[in-house]
Structure 1
Amino acid sequence: MKLQKLAKLRETIRKYEDTIRYYEKLFMADGQIDSNEQLKLNKLNTSLKKIANKIEAKEKALSSSERIKNALQSHQEGIKDWSSTKDDTVDHTLVNEPTSSKSISGSVGRKGDNKKSDVSLVQNLLREKNNAPLKGSGICGPKTIKAIKNFQQKVEEADTGIITPNDNTWKKLNAYTPIDKDNKDNKDLDLSSIKNSVGKKGVNDKEDVKIVQELLKKKGGKLIGLGICGPLTISAIKKFQSINLNGFSDGLVEPDGKTFKLLVGNGKPISSDDINSNTGPLNKPNWIKIAEGEKGVKENTSKKKHNPRVLEYHASVKGNIKNDETPWCSSFVNWVMKKAGQGGTNSAMAISWKKYGKNLGKPAYGAIAVIDWDGAGPGWKGHVGFVVGKKGEEVLLLGGNQRNAVNIKSYSTSKVVAYVVPSNYEVPANAYSFGEFTGDYGSGGGMNSTR
């Protein structure tokens, strides 16, 4: 019964992670996450943390034999989840769960309205979320005003000592998640090794996750370090990999893998060469966000086994393709654009994109670039991908089947025969302006590389 309850809780954890990942992409579709959307994400992450804490408490109460069975069961669940070809489970009701915090009807603090019920609510929140020495009496005195100022300083708001309904301090007080007390022990972690894999579909033992999170923080990752492997941790792993592994990013850190060695060694910081910081507009098209989420997907090296995700790309075009050896750059772009609600060409041929939407005549961030390898003639061999940067006479493409994976590679602009976007898409003026790019994502090669 204990193990069944733990399995149910882990299933709930995966549901929350899938839901958070879905809504992060959805909210970023317009290029930014507004305050109300961030509150919803914060609430989801808070619930996720509570469930993770409940799992940890229940695991501590297990006997030795139960712990072994539980670890095996958890590992099998991870394998099953990884091998499943079904879409991730998104529970939209989780986003609309009622919040436990009420609103205040008037201002609280220095020269505020200070209604007793409002003051009491603020005091309780300050005590719960910032360890303020308050009793929740409902009387606003010097200690309450000082506690408000302390919290405002922590969340980088002006320390006015007053909170008004729906101001930034009130919103942050509701959304604020205190750092776990156990996080203080992270300074004592041995960061030289991990026992098991961490990240997307990893084993994700709590201590291993903490170690990876601390290493990522040292490399510029914005993580708290609670030992819970959620979307933010996986995103930070992918970003670090993309910068240090020529665009490759599967979101998984193996104990003896290249990613971990770079984390403990001389890997480049996340902030030093992030492609999104110096190329393209901030209001990126939603299809780019979708494509970025697929980075790291690659072909199966076995001729008898095929990556289900690549087969899913192929399912978006005609032809009933059942293997991942068949060229899939166009299938990938079709899959992405259909997910983005922009339709596609329904063809596995890269040249099919030459007549898609409208032709810009020059590279723009987010445009689809169509490459012709062999020029005019009876045959046609090409490639297609999304423009995410430009350097000299090369264009950086985020695409599929680039060295047999989804990643970012560079291609000569002399081979590009079209830059297209959906007919209904108005290209922002700054999409044509590319910042000076200094990173090296590697060449995408020629016709033999992309087949």
Structure 2
Amino acid sequence: MTFDDWVISRLRAHGFYSGFGDGVPGRAMIEGLRQFQAAEKLPVTGMANEATVTALRRKGNSRDVVSISAMEIKPPAEPIWMREARRFMGLKEIAGSKSNSTIMGWAKKAGGWIASYYTNDDTPWCGLFIHHVIATTLPAELLPSNPLGALQWNKFGTALSSPVLGAIVTFVRTGGGHVGLYVGEDATHYHILGGNQSNSVSITRIEKGRMAAIRWPKTGGEPKGGRVKLTAAGVPVSKNEA
């Protein structure tokens, strides 16, 4: 059982979840958390923080904990939007005239001019991917007016002076930009989870000198931790982000 599966199951046990029990950390889970936090007189954040998890461990509305194993449940280090992003690891665009229905579904869900503009998955979709994971998991977050423009994410949320796990990082490249999520770094490269990296959702290494901005969602809670030191072994260097 994943952390999000557990949160959804506990919200349902307490009567604060009416969505599908699919383990996806989407808007139904966030709204359930907000209602549960209000009922428990906790700060209403929509985030499954330590205090909320402790309250969720109880049986229904009693003060008894569910079980010893449930006591081992702790909020994961990765923020909710990064957990959503990981669900799509390995997803690829389709070469030629056909398009990946999942990628096209993100554009359709975004609606408005994005849905009409995005006619196939040959259109760069790194910004669309980040738009999807943020919009799905942080419904109150103000998004860029043009999320398809990778460098438009330079103005998103608040600025960070150094990266932390899940931070939104933008990069410059010839002819445009790129945006993804910080996984960690080695001596010379950032390790980035993003879309449209060699035409897929993957983790790849991007030169630190290309970094343009590091941002954090205003409704994403406080950034935690610091830089994540990783080895370069086994992680490819990005060669195509368009």
TM-score when normalising by structure 2: 0.67
Q: CA deviation at 1:300?
A: 1.5
The code of the aligned residue for 2:179 comes to V
For 1:299, which of 83, 86, 93 is the aligned residue? 93
Q: CA deviation at 1:22?
A: 2.9
Greater shift after overlay, 433-442 or 305-314?
Answer: 433-442
Q: Which has the higher contact order (CA 8 A, sep 6+)?
A: 2
Match of 2:21 in 1: 19
Assess if the C-alpha contact under 8 Å between 1:401 and 1:450 holds in 2.
Answer: yes
Q: What are the residue-to-residue correspondences of 1:149-228 with 2, within 5 Å?
A: 166=64, 171=67
* Kept in 2: contact 1:285–1:366 (CA 8 A): yes
> Which residue does the alignment assign to 2:151?
351
2:135 counterpart of 1:338? yes
Whether 1:367 aligns to 2:199 is: no
C-alpha spacing 1:29/1:286, structure 2 compared with 1 (3 Å): farther
Contact 2:99–2:120 (CA<8 Å) still a contact in 1?
Answer: yes
User: Share of identical aligned residues, percent?
Assistant: 24
State the alpha-carbon separation in 2 of the partners of residues 373 and 307 from structure 1: 25
In structure 1, what residue type is equivalent to 2:107?
H
One of 98, 104, 122 as aligned partner of 1:311: 104
Task: Give, in angstroms, the shift of residue 21 of structure 1.
Answer: 2.2
Unpaired runs of at least 5, structure 2: 1-19, 34-45
The equivalent of 1:79 in structure 2 is none
2:194 match: 399
The 1:38/1:402 distance shift into structure 2, 3 A limit, reads: farther
Partner of 1:440: 234
CA contact (8 A) 2:154 2:170 kept: yes
Q: What CA distance in whole angstroms lies between the structure 1 residues aligned with 2:56 and 2:199?
A: 36
Aligned pair count? 194
Q: CA deviation at 1:439?
A: 4.5
Go from structure 1 to structure 2 and tell me whether the alpha carbon gap of 1:367 and 1:23 turns closer, same or farther (over 3 Å shift): closer
Mapped to 1, the partners of 2:143 and 2:205 lie a distance apart of 24
Q: Which amino acid aligns with 1:30?
A: A
The letter for the 2-side match of 1:19 is G
CA gap 1:24/1:424 in 2 versus in 1, 3 angstroms:
closer
Amino acid paired to 1:339: T
- Whether contact under 8 Å (1:389, 1:434) holds in the other structure is yes
Query: CA–CA distance in 2 between the matches of 1:357 and 1:427?
Result: 12
Q: Which has the higher strand share?
A: 2
Which residue is equivalent to 1:288? Answer: 82
Amino acid at match of 2:228: F
Structure 1 residues 442 and 367: CA distance shift in structure 2, 3 A? same
Task: Flag the 1:436–1:340 CA change in 2: closer, same or farther, 3 A.
Answer: same
Code of the residue aligned with 1:22 in structure 2: it is V
Cα distance, 1:407–1:366 mapped onto 2, change above 3 Å: same
Partner of 2:39: none
Q: What's the counterpart of residue 13 of structure 2?
A: none
Shift of 1:38: 7.4
Asked if structure 1 preserves the Cα contact closer than 8 Å seen for 2:190 and 2:207, the reply is yes
Counterparts of 1:167 and 1:439, CA distance in 2? 43
Q: State the partner residue of 2:11.
A: none
* TM superposition shift of 1:403: 0.8
State the distance in 2 between where 1:330 and 1:415 align.
17
Partner amino acid, structure 1, of 2:144: T
Contact preservation (8 Å) 1:369, 1:418: yes
Q: Is the 8 A contact 2:184 2:227 kept in 1?
A: no
C-alpha contact (below 8 Å) 2:24/2:84 kept by paired residues = no
Q: Cα deviations across residues 320-371 of structure 1 (Å, max 9, x unaligned)?
A: 2110110000011111111122242142111111111222132222111111
Q: 1:409 to 1:39 in 2, by over 3 A?
A: farther
RMSD: 3.4
**2:181–2:192 contact (8 Å) kept in structure 1:** yes
Partner Cα distance (1:413, 1:384) in 2:
13
